[in-house]
Structure 1
Amino acid sequence: MKAAHQLKLAGKGELAMAVELIDVHTPKNQELSLIARRCLLMMLEAAAGDAWKPEPHRIAKKDLRGSHKAMDRVRPAFEELMGVWFSHADTLGQAKSTRMFHLLEGINDQDDETSSAFVEFSFTARARQMLERSEVYARLSREAIIKFQSRYSLRLYEIGAAIYCKRDPTWAGEVGELRKLLHVTPDTYPNFSDFRKRVLEPARLEIAQLAEFDFSWEEILSGRQVRRIRMTFTAKPGHAALAAAEENDRHSAGRRPRRDGDVEQIIEAVAAKLLVSGPTKASSSSSGELRWPKDDDLNDYEEAYRPLYTAGRQHGGGHSIERLAQSFAQHMGEKRHQLVGDRLMSSWQGFVTGKARTWVPVR
């Protein structure tokens, strides 16, 4: 809850999701649709650090429906979310037991469809207790959440976001366990070859294009059948993390051709404008946006560079900020001075996270 509160205050489009929310149950273990999962994450972002409080929370309808003008796609998702539940080991009397409880207590949807219309929702008492006590969370990008086109990609993105920064960034289990985790019903893609083709491979491609980490898996056979899966999530190096952040800023039209390599060259709107009219005032160093220091000296006593310094401390594995900064400068070359704002931060954070994994751990 503290992390959720801090991320909301930062206002950079990131949210904290308690890892307990990865393993949710649905009625008869049906698949939770992409729009339902997306709505759930948007609602968590809206509640943020207040999700544990016994009070209703509000979210604007326009945030839930995206580019659509009506709620016809969202209301069925509400019905799905009202059925989401959890189970965990407990005790009843002197015996062990299994406690089950729902996530949401209620959703109150205004009939109004104007830009100011909102939805009010509240969590159950048990769910609030779970959120309050949760100490491990996944840090998710709002832009990535709304860009994924497959519910399986979004599920694996959630799982990967909770794992890729750990010392052991892997998940291993039976194929049946993975199917259950991804809400793939037994009668959907029963053959593993279809499961691989329709679930794992599309998810790997989308995650590679939109996330700050990569995803791969190993198939463990028993005879001729795949019995177990070992998935590995690895942080991307700086340039790859930057490419993912840039893709999140682009329109979804053309994303598949870009992913498949059918587009020869991409010219960003700002770059195209500069080619035609030359530098603008907004491109100058006086714009106030986050920029890389000209002398590559990151420190915490200059306000302009403090966010970069803090990110290096948080994600650099204890390594010297000076060493990380010099390595970043060598890796990025002149492009480090062309990046601004969130793109620079995404590139820097992805780079230092990768170095924390590859360099000798600080003792």
Structure 2
Amino acid sequence: MESEAGQIAEATEVDAEEVSPGRAMRVAAALKAKGGDEFAKPGSIIEIKFVKGESLSLTASRLLALMILTAGGDAWEDRPHRIRKADIRRGHKGNERITDMLQELHRTLFAVDDKSWRGKKATLLFSLISRSREETEEEGGEAGWIEWEFTPDARKLIQASETYAVLNRQAVLGFRSNYALKLYELGALRLHRRQATWRGDMQALRAALGIPPDVYTDFAQLRRKVLEKAKSEIDQLAHFRVEWREIRQGRTVTEIEFRFEPKGAPEVIETVDELDRHSAGRQARRDGAVERISVGQGAIPAPRKAVARSKPTETSFPTGSLRYGEHEAEFRSIGRQYGGGWDVDMIADGFRSQMGERLEKLRGAKLAAAWKGFCEGWVNRRGRPQ
């Protein structure tokens, strides 16, 4: 009897391990509970391969990101998830685009390396969404909801993922290039690794960014239309910068290496300001052009609708140790999460020294973002403590 009971207990433990979520889902659950614009996207979904010749459009990629944000730490579970259409439309009056985006997610095929029933190398093809429901009847101004379920293969990938990227909702919705959005996700996924780089040949680059094989076949054109545009958007909207190096054989570019570096505190504050501004004029600000509004020459865009978010602390940065106290708790948590194992008080001293008098004026989201960016930059410059 003891042996049988032991076997049952052991089997129960194995079953519990098999159904437990990986680190990506644990972080996703924590970020959703915290509220705000940050969410975790599993690395397995970011690095998933498109079937040759296919890729998601920018709008469908945004919808997928919003689905993952909404599902949070429950994305791996066999259950439906729901989101308001109003949270997807972003000011568009019609729902036609939502229908198109859903249908695109349904029909797009993805590929992962797998094993056949004989143990041979194989390629598994699958969709991310198994089924969805879209409300078509609106009552009392209510824009309706959509409901969807991830496929078993997608849930398996999401559940097992130990890597993740922390993305910003406003940044995801602010990108105007699908290639920039993909590179942003790749950069956020690699930012905290010992070497924050991505390297691949031209075929791998096209697969990673979803560039069709018959588009931008000349590298000079690909550099101008894809890489330079993606860099300018990421440098403006992301919490990090991107640079790349071209590896050549003779005159031919054979490989690309991207390097991702966290922004310093002042640059992070500029990014937070930019994300809070209306998207109208963003291109001009990115290009360094002066924006002018002439009376009688077109309507001024309406301000964005306010989005309910959790309120970051409105207190100032602590003057003493971050190790103790409720006031210091949020900053201590950020320092431990993004400081790479360095002493949080040591990082805090460096932060105060760099910011100087500007630190006295910082509050809320800007202060939290600047502190997080400084912690990431600290690890990037010094590595992890031995």
What TM-score comes out, normalization by structure 1 length?
A: 0.89
Q: Are 2:357 and 1:334 equivalent residues in the alignment?
A: yes
Check 1:115–1:335 CA distance in 2 against 1; reply closer, same or farther (3 A cut). farther
What's 1:142 paired with? 169
Q: Is the 8 A contact 2:272 2:366 kept in 1?
A: yes
Q: Are 2:334 and 1:311 equivalent residues in the alignment?
A: yes
Check 1:94–1:208 CA distance in 2 against 1; reply closer, same or farther (3 A cut). closer
Q: Is the 8 A contact 2:312 2:365 kept in 1?
A: no
Q: Which amino acid aligns with 2:114?
A: A
Q: Are 2:273 and 1:250 equivalent residues in the alignment?
A: no
Return 352-361 or 342-351, whichever deviates more: 352-361
Q: What SS class does the counterpart of residue 220 from structure 1 fall into? A: strand
Q: Is the 8 A contact 2:166 2:188 kept in 1?
A: yes
Q: What SS class does the counterpart of residue 193 from structure 2 fall into? A: coil
1:14 is displaced (CA, Å) by: 1.1
Q: Which amino acid aligns with 1:232?
A: R
Aligned mate of 1:54, from 66, 78, 101: 78
Check 1:222–1:329 CA distance in 2 against 1; reply closer, same or farther (3 A cut). same
1:149 is displaced (CA, Å) by: 1.0
Q: Is the 8 A contact 1:88 1:100 kept in 2?
A: no
- 1:185-334 to 2 correspondences below 5 Å: 185-263=212-290, 289-293=313-317, 296-334=319-357
Check 1:334–1:151 CA distance in 2 against 1; reply closer, same or farther (3 A cut). same
1:228 is displaced (CA, Å) by: 0.7
Q: Which amino acid aligns with 1:236?
A: K
- 1:27-66 to 2 correspondences below 5 Å: 28-66=52-90
Aligned mate of 1:350, from 373, 376, 384: 373
What's 2:159 paired with? 132
- 1:63-212 to 2 correspondences below 5 Å: 63-84=87-108, 85-113=110-138, 114-212=141-239
What's 1:21 paired with? 45
Q: What SS class does the counterpart of residue 214 from structure 1 fall into? A: strand
Q: Give, in whole Å, the separation in 1 of the partners of 2:381 and 2:375.
A: 10
* Paired residue total: 341
Check 1:359–1:177 CA distance in 2 against 1; reply closer, same or farther (3 A cut). closer
1:23 is displaced (CA, Å) by: 3.1
Q: Is the 8 A contact 1:298 1:308 kept in 2?
A: no
1:26 is displaced (CA, Å) by: 4.5
Cα deviation 1:176-219 (Å, max 9, x = unaligned) = 21012111112211111110000000110110001011101111
Q: Give, in whole Å, the separation in 1 of the partners of 2:351 and 2:142.
A: 43
Q: Is the 8 A contact 2:312 2:364 kept in 1?
A: no
Q: Is the 8 A contact 1:292 1:305 kept in 2?
A: no
Q: What SS class does the counterpart of residue 303 from structure 1 fall into? A: coil
Return 157-166 or 29-38, whichever deviates more: 29-38
Q: Is the 8 A contact 2:199 2:258 kept in 1?
A: yes
**What percent of counterpart residues are identical?**
36
Q: Is the 8 A contact 1:140 1:158 kept in 2?
A: yes
Q: Are 2:384 and 1:361 equivalent residues in the alignment?
A: yes
What's 1:11 paired with? 35
Q: What SS class does the counterpart of residue 336 from structure 1 fall into? A: helix
What's 2:308 paired with? none
Q: Which amino acid aligns with 2:274?
A: E
Q: What SS class does the counterpart of residue 158 from structure 2 fall into? A: helix
1:360 is displaced (CA, Å) by: 5.8
1:139 is displaced (CA, Å) by: 0.7
Q: Is the 8 A contact 2:261 2:380 kept in 1?
A: no
Check 1:27–1:70 CA distance in 2 against 1; reply closer, same or farther (3 A cut). farther
1:304 is displaced (CA, Å) by: 2.3
Q: Is the 8 A contact 2:322 2:328 kept in 1?
A: yes
Q: What SS class does the counterpart of residue 29 from structure 1 fall into? A: coil
1:91 is displaced (CA, Å) by: 3.3
Q: What SS class does the counterpart of residue 86 from structure 1 fall into? A: strand
1:98 is displaced (CA, Å) by: 2.6
Check 1:3–1:81 CA distance in 2 against 1; reply closer, same or farther (3 A cut). same
1:337 is displaced (CA, Å) by: 2.0
Q: Give, in whole Å, the separation in 2 of the partners of 1:261 and 1:223.
A: 36
Cα deviation 1:263-304 (Å, max 9, x = unaligned) = 499xxxxxxxxxxxxxxxxxxxxx9933333x6224243222
1:342 is displaced (CA, Å) by: 1.3
Gaps of 5+ in 1: 266-286
What TM-score comes out, normalization by structure 2 length?
A: 0.84
Q: Which amino acid aligns with 1:126?
A: D
